[in-house]
Every structure is written in C-alpha cells, then in structure tokens.
Chains A and B, each alone.
Chain A
Amino acid sequence: MPGLTQAHSVVAPSTASRRIAGALVIVYAIITMIPLLWIIATSFKTPPDSISYPPKVIFTPSLEGYVNLFTTRTRQTPEVIATLPPPTTWYDKLVRSRNMVIAGPSNVIPRFVNSIIIAFGSTFLAVFLGTLAAYGFSRFKVPLKDDLLFFILSTRMMPPIAVAIPIYLMYRELGLSDTKLGMILLYTAVNVSLAVWLLKGFIDEIPREYEEAAMIDGYTRLQAFRKAVLPQAATGIAATAIFCLIFAWNEYAFAVLLTSGTAQTMPPFIPFIIGEGGQDWPAVAAATTLFVIPIFVFTILLRKHLLRGITFGAVRK
C-alpha cells in the first residue's frame, strides 16, 4: 500500500539490521581468527619464509615445519651426506636439502599423549566429583553448607601459582613430581572448585520434582539421579567440562615447574622446539596448530550443549 509505512516488528529483525549484525560478526571473527590463521600459515612456511620481511602472505607451502617437529636432526657437511645411501622418503630428502640428517623421532608424540591423558583425565575427575558434590550441595541438608561452599570457592581466590613452591616440595616428598598422576591430581584440585560452583548452579535449576517423581516410581536416589537429573544436567556438565579442559590443556606454569620428562605436557614442550641454532618458527607453529586441534574438536562436538549452557536458566518454560 503506497503511502503507508510498515510497522516495525518487535520479533523479526529487519533485513538491514540483520545485515549489519552479520557484518559485525564476520569482522569480529576475522579479527579474532587472524592470529590463529597466521600460525597455521606459518606452520606451512619454510624457515626463511617465516621470518622474511615484509611478511609473506603468498608463499610456497612446505611441510618442513611438521617434519622438524616430529624428528630430531643432526647437521652434517654436504660431503658426509653424499656418502650416505640415497634418501628413501620425501622427508629424508627434505631434511638433507638443509644439510641435515634425521637422527630419530622427536618427543612430540609422547608429550602430546601426556597432554591428552592429563587434561582429559583431570577434566573427567573434576566433572565427576564436581557433579556429585554439586548435587549433594543442591539437594541435601549439608551441615555448614555455606561455609563449605565458600571454602571451595576460596581455593580459587589466589593465583594457583602462589602455592607453587609448597606444591613442588610436597610433590617431591610424595614422589609425584613429573608423574601423570601428579599432574592429573593437581589440575583436578584446581578445577573441581569451578566445577562444583558451576554445576551447583545448573542443578539448582532442575526441579526436585524430577527426582522425587522417579523415587516414588520405584527408583533409588542414585538411580533417580542417573535417569532424571543427569540428562537434565548434560548441558551444564558439557559447559563445565569445556572450561576445565581448556584450563588443564593450556596450563603452563605448573607444567614447567613439575614436569621435565616423562610427564611433560605440550605447553612447556613447545618452547623447546625453537631449537639451538636458527629459530625454527614453522616447527613451533606446527606444534601450536596440532595443540589447538583437540580443544577445537571437543568444543565443536559439545557446541550444541555449550550454546544452551550459556543461556541456561534465562528462559523459564
């Protein structure tokens, strides 16, 4: 109808505002993703390309960074290399073209496995203990409940590294230094307080009637918890697990202090890659790229829960 202006809808955003919002999201995504994309790009550069100035955006990709990450090499003169049997694999060839010979595999795979075991192990423990504790605090009359909850929170009130030296001494006495078990226990202890508080919030939101109905229907308290409460808490558990995992996966300070060999995780390992001669940025970038992948995959797998987790409790049905 000419001459009439369309009433502005409260529910559906207009096309213009949707476009502006979309553009803003894209701009923000690009800004936050540039460092990550730069690291991934660097991991596929040759060492000279990685430090060239002005920086190269267009370059010939190379797997040298990944080869260097997964191997240890020794420098040889071209004469010595010429006496060796011809290279059998593409990475042998690549390394020899830099006047080096592969001496053996690097430590990256054991370190990566350590990171996986320690981060996922401590996350599982923190979330498992946190869920049970949160349920207990949420549903039962616990003596000194508020004080206990405050105590749990207070363990997070100073930076964990402030207690690094006592923990270091304690771990040495207990033989937990440089052990996976020690690191799992440590990260669990740090994460469990966060887990209890986050999960208590989620479980408080679940009506008690769910378990009460189940208990009347012939389920024990524990069965009712498993059948009626856990499925409802899945969202909160997923969100909590991601927070715990990110902490344990990225933790650097304790890892440097308490691990040096068998239990070393990726964060303290990556700086060692830089190398003694030239600075091998592509290898560092390759390690960082691989390091990001598990968190990336885990978050993608749980993203449906995570999104619901963020808005949980905002909408009353």
Chain B
Amino acid sequence: MADVVLDGVTKRFGTTTAIDDLNLTIADGELIVLLGPTGAGKTTTLRLVAGLERADQGRIFIGGHDVTTVEPAGRDVTFVFQQYSLYPHLSVYDNLAFPLRSPARRVAEPEIKRRVTDIATMLRIAHKLQNRATQLSGGEMQRVAIGRALVRRPSIYLMDEPLSSLDAKLRSDLRLELKRIQQDLGATILYVTHDQIEAMTLASRIGILNAGRLVQIGSPREIYRNPANLYVAARLGQPAINLVPEGLIPAGSAPAGTRTIGARTEHLRIEKASNGHAIGKVEWIEHLGDQNHLHVSVGDRKLTTLVDPQTDLVAGDQVALSLVDPLYFDQAGNRIGGGN
C-alpha cells in the first residue's frame, strides 16, 4: 500500500476537457469515493491513475514515484471494472490466478494456489473455482472480479462502480464485505460510484466532481453537513435537498446576500396549520415502509421531506412550515457561512 498523488492533472479528449487541473492526495489506507453525475470525470480519473489514459498535463505519483508516463503494467495498481472483466474462456480459478501469472509477476504455482484459495474463501466463491466464468450468477461474477483485484497487494485498488450491476440485496451485502476487507487489509482504494449510500458508508473521504473539477473533498459527514455550494448539496441526501428561493418559508434571519435556501428533512418543521398560518399543503405521502416521504406544495414549489411513519398528516392537510438552521447560498450558488 502507498499513497497516491494527482498533481494538477488535466486530460482532454479532442476539444472536451474531461479532467481539469485535478489535485488529489489519497493517503495510505484511505478509501476515497468519487461522486458525481455521468461525464463528471470519475472514470477518467481512475483510468489516469491506472495508466489506461495518459495525462495531458500534471503528474501522478504512486508511493512517491512519478508514474505519469509509466505503462499500466508497471504501476502496481488493480482495477475493478463495472462489468466484463472476467475471461469467459477461463475457469474461475484461472481468472483469479491471471494477475499472478503475468510475466511481470510470475508467482510460483503453489503460492498462487494458496492466495486464490484464500481470496475465494473470503469472497465465498471457493466452491465455484472449477466453474467456467460464464456459469456464474451476476453477483458471483462481480465477486470474482473483485477477487481478481484482491489476490494482489497493489499500491492502490481502483474500483469503477463495482456494485452497480448487482441487485439491491447483493449490493448491500457486497458493500459490507468490501468495507470489512478494506479495513482488514488496510487497503488504499479509489472508488467511483453513483450510489450515495455506498459513498456515505464506504468512504473515508468523498470527493465531489463536476465537469472534470474537484468541487469539494471531505469526510462524508462534512460533505453532507457543510456542502460548499448548491452542486455539492444536491449530491447527497435522501430525499434530495429542497432548494427554495429566500423568503418562501420563514427562516428567522437569513444572512445578507442569500438567494437560495437549502432545506433537508432535519431543517424543516412541519405542523398542521391552525387558522390561517398555513403556507403549504400536503400533496401526498409515499409510504416506503421504514420511512415516509411527505410531498408538500408551497406556492408553485414542491418540497419533499421525511416524515414519521406514525404521522397523522394526510393528503390535503394545510400545514405551516418553518426552517431551523438551514443552508444558505448566494447568487452564485456558493454557501454563505459554510466551512465552519
């Protein structure tokens, strides 16, 4: 394991800039999750670290060595792809042994057998070792793909939405497993996902990317509680943060320059309105079992918030809303009074 540094890295594809002056340091043993919409540059960042793409500007260091122009084989990284990385013509065992048998490594067969068996046991696929890769279920395939990364002890593991092709149940199982493995091995991981639950639960730090730029990086808690701007605020939170113009809902004293107020469930107080204080109306309540989503209209705005499953509110009720210490954003969308 080693720390990884991206220093002012820029990558262009034709006229589009995929990564724009990216500075990122991944400490030894840290799991950094890159979060952002499609096209934000998450996968490109992974590919740059792996050496599958060459940076146009800037430098990349792995364990203190400048690897900016080093071939992928010489970088000592592993990559878990979203899909397709198992060789259909090989058995599960041979797939897992593939990285160890590379000409660059040439691990002895008894050692390969030991490591493959260890990893297969850890990932609970030991009974499938002699199967062909194509005879596995989706979850098993993805576990083998992760296993292929884990048989080595690289400087850094790169994972590109490794769980996204799985169903919800498997995804949460493997998420826990990954977290456990990461803690057991003390692995350095750069992880890309769309899934904010994965990001919140796995990450030591979350990096938010927008159009090739790193907008904010911090612990999941920081990113959630102290987003630097509207873009970051909208990335985390379920249901998504409500963004309303200043003045729509009573907010006590908004700081000067506030244009937009961000209100999550914990920032909103909703009560059944008594005579004339109503400013909103309950549109409907989504019952999701463990939680209920309450949809409220205020003027022409729609707000969504969590509500106690035992709530006595029903669709059509007039409600009074107020804000408690919400997030304030200025004209440009930057947070006011943030960073504290």
Known A-B contacts A216-B50, A216-B79, A220-B73; the reply to A210 vs B103 at CB < 8 A is: no
Does chain A have a CB within 8 A of B169? no
Known A-B contacts A231-B89, A232-B89; the reply to A219 vs B73 at CB < 8 A is: yes
**CA A228 – CA B81 in complex, angstroms?**
15
Known A-B contacts A209-B81, A212-B52, A317-B134; the reply to A217 vs B102 at CB < 8 A is: yes
Specify which chain A residues have a CB less than 8 angstroms from the CB of B333 in the assembled complex.
none
Which size class do A's interface residues fall under? 10 to 19
> A-B contact count, CB below 8 Å?
63
Known A-B contacts A210-B87, A212-B72; the reply to A218 vs B81 at CB < 8 A is: no
Query: Would you give the 0/1 interface string for B222-242, flagging 1 where the beta carbon is closer than 8 Å to chain A?
Result: 000000000000000000000
B85 near A218 (CB under 8 angstroms)? no
Known A-B contacts A217-B78, A220-B103; the reply to A209 vs B84 at CB < 8 A is: yes
Q: Of A210, A227, A232, which is within 8 A of B85 by CB?
A: A210
Most A Cβ at <10 Å: residue of B73, B89, B103:
B73
Known A-B contacts A220-B103, A317-B134; the reply to A215 vs B87 at CB < 8 A is: no
Q: Of A210, A216, A317, which is within 8 A of B52 by CB?
A: A216
Size of the B side of the interface (Cβ < 8 Å), in residues, is 26
Specify which chain B residues have a CB less than 8 angstroms from the CB of A217 in the assembled complex.
73, 78, 98-99, 102, 148, 152
Query: Would you give the 0/1 interface string for A213-246, flagging 1 where the beta carbon is closer than 8 Å to chain B?
Result: 1111111100100011001100000000000000
A216 near B84 (CB under 8 angstroms)? no
Q: Of B78, B83, B89, B103, which is within 8 A of A216 by CB?
A: B78
B87 near A218 (CB under 8 angstroms)? no
Chain B residue at minimal CB-CB distance from A219: B102
Does chain A have a CB within 8 A of B105? yes
Most B Cβ at <10 Å: residue of A213, A219, A223, A227:
A213
B98 near A214 (CB under 8 angstroms)? yes
Does chain A have a CB within 8 A of B77? yes
Does chain B have a CB within 8 A of A207? yes
Does chain A have a CB within 8 A of B104? yes
Chain B residue at minimal CB-CB distance from A221: B71
Known A-B contacts A219-B103, A220-B103, A223-B103; the reply to A212 vs B79 at CB < 8 A is: yes
Query: Would you give the 0/1 interface string for B92-111, flagging 1 where the beta carbon is closer than 8 Å to chain A?
Result: 00000011001111000000
Residues 290-305 (chain A) with a chain B CB within 8 angstroms: none
Residues 191-221 (chain A) with a chain B CB within 8 angstroms: 207, 209-210, 212-220
Known A-B contacts A216-B72, A223-B103; the reply to A207 vs B84 at CB < 8 A is: yes
Chain A residue at minimal CB-CB distance from B134: A317
**CA A227 – CA B95 in complex, angstroms?**
11
B102 near A213 (CB under 8 angstroms)? no
Does chain A have a CB within 8 A of B88? yes
Apart from A210-B87, A216-B77: 20 A-B pairs, beta carbons within 8 A:
A209-B81, A210-B84, A212-B50, A212-B81, A215-B52, A215-B71, A216-B51, A216-B72, A216-B79, A217-B78, A217-B99, A217-B102, A217-B152, A218-B99, A218-B102, A218-B103, A219-B102, A219-B103, A220-B73, A220-B103
Interface residue ranges, A against B (CB under 8 Å): 207, 209-210, 212-220, 223, 227-228, 231-232, 317
Interface residue ranges, B against A (CB under 8 Å): 50-52, 71-73, 75, 77-79, 81, 83-85, 87-89, 98-99, 102-105, 134, 148, 152
Question: Can you give 9 A-B contacts (C-beta < 8 A)?
Answer: A209-B83, A213-B148, A215-B72, A216-B50, A216-B79, A217-B99, A217-B102, A218-B105, A231-B89
Query: Which 5 residue pairs of A and B lie closest in terms of their CB atoms, listed nearest first?
Result: A218-B102, A218-B104, A217-B99, A207-B84, A231-B89
